[in-house]
Amino acid sequence: MESIWITDVSPRDGLQNQPKHLSTHEKLALIRLLVAAGLERIEVTSFVSPSAVPQMADAADLLSLVISEFPKLQSTVLVPNLKGLERARLAGASEISVVLAATDTMNRKNINQSLADATRNCQDTVRAAKAMGMRTRTYLAVAFDCPFEGVTPVPTLLALAQQMQAVQVDEIVIADTIGSATPGRVRDCLSVLGWAIPMNQLAMHFHDTRGLAVANTWAALEAGIRRFDASAGGLGGCPFAPGAAGNLATEDLVLMAQGSGFQTNIDLGRLLDVIEFAQHKMDRPLGGRSYSWLALQKQKGDLDPRGLSQGQSDA
């Protein structure tokens, strides 16, 4: 059975824009539940400015606790620049991500830099992280559409991916930041990127703003992608997409993948424990499109770890 690899981003991307702030130990409890569900790779936190993103002000403390309790967990953190990288290094980080928006306006709105300056910043940060022996990821944000400039041309995306590949980044994450991608566009985008970037170096990060995250994931799977970001319960969203439903829900991805013959090593029943915990702490309903059905199956005792009801066979 072929495997896919999932990075759950709920502790970072899921929490960073939430009005309710979780304590360090509440975040650690969330991560414990993710690990118990079988997640082997988690985006733990972000070393951005605490004044800009107060939800991530405890990044160093949280990462240190996670590394101490789960030394074998692939803990990845986001860093905005060399200063953030140094903070992450001191906290014990072994894997970092940088974010490069694919349009000039998005970079200026987000970090007050031009596209050219943002590209150099990301390249410098990746080079420095590689010199420290860290694994590195680059998010190419607004990869399909920018809320300020409209459609992102695929040749622009390819050029940025190649510039990051030139500094030997380990993974390039194509991020549908505002959730506007469609399966056809995913297919067309990857058909171009695949000529220059190995599929095993690419990952996808979908948002479910228009209800197409799972369909887009299937298109990426068919194109050869095996690495995906997702967030338990769909926790998260983009501040530039009002009404966005949040990230691709981890439970939706796992249910679809495991029901289609892919292995994830994630227990759906335990994943529901994560969502129930997050709902309680955030004081609002969460859950992807499959959550209600999964919760009902669990309540009836009919849910196996793959998401199949007990009367359902693999045949």
The neighbouring-strand residues paired with 249 are: 231
- Residue 304 neighbours by CB distance under 10 Å: 14
Closest CA to 251 of 213, 224, 221, 284: 213
Which 3 state secondary structure label does DSSP give 79?
coil
189 is known as an active-site residue: no
Q: Which of 122, 146, 189, 238 is catalytic?
A: 238
**Torsion angles phi and psi, residue 302, rounded to 5:** -105, 10
Question: Do 190 and 144 meet the contact criterion of CB atoms below 8 Å apart?
Answer: no
Find the radius of gyration of the CA atoms of the chain: 18
CB-based contact 287:250 (threshold 8 Å): no
- Three-state SS annotation for 86-150: HHHHHHCCCEEEEEEECCHHHHHHHHCCCHHHHHHHHHHHHHHHHHCCCEEEEEEECCCEECCCE
Question: Which residues have a Cβ under 8 Å from the Cβ of 281 and sit 6 or more positions away?
Answer: 20, 22, 26, 30
CA-closest candidate to residue 251, choices 202, 286, 218: 286
Residues assigned a catalytic role:
238
